[in-house]
Chain A
């Protein structure tokens, strides 16, 4: 099973700042990684798929990237509605696995 390690667990930032979230897989997953946003009382929302492609309707301030086996979600110019929990997920091999999440909270 591919384990995804997300860091940090919590990120405390102010609106307008940049959030940088990390996801490290325990083995190579090529580019088959997605990021989801989850707010209280809502279902997860697909933000990024295949490492760097924004899903339909996702604002350009959300950017996905990778360097080697290290994947990053960057949120530029944080908006109030961006404070949420973010999860990465791989589908390179079954079982599809999720990271433990990073909570982006308002400082």
Chain B
């Protein structure tokens, strides 16, 4: 069964930085595009970043552009999200998700909570 496991969440002050990781297993990671999707009570589900299987295509939501950087290491089956200049509105549960053969997200990690607060 496909497994996606996020780590790196926690409490951070406004303006701070954090790096999320997503460890992928039980599938050929390099064959799939991946994304980071966050959920907040107020804004619901928001797809904030996307990376193609070879890393050549990257997208960011306007809400995080210039502050977050997505990357992947296909040799280590790992997806990352470097987050800088964090704001209170970045408080959310962050999920990594796999874009499946249907071009939609067929597997999601359980998520890691980020709280941005002073």
Contact = CB atoms under 8 A, between A and B. Distances in A.
For this complex, into which size category does the number of interface residues on chain A fall?
Answer: 20 to 34
Contacts of B108: 43-44
Given A46-B100, A46-B102, 8 more contacts: A34-B105, A43-B107, A46-B106, A55-B106, A94-B59, A95-B59, A96-B47, A98-B47
A101 interface: yes
Main SS of the interface on chain B?
strand
A28 to B, nearest CB: 18
B90 to A, nearest CB: 16
A95 B37 CA distance: 11
Main SS of the interface on chain A?
loop
Contacts, number: 55
A89 interface: yes
Contact of A49 (B44, B45, B48, B102): B102
B109 to A, nearest CB: 7
Contact of A50 (B95, B102, B107): B102
Contact of B103 (A44, A49, A87, A98): A49
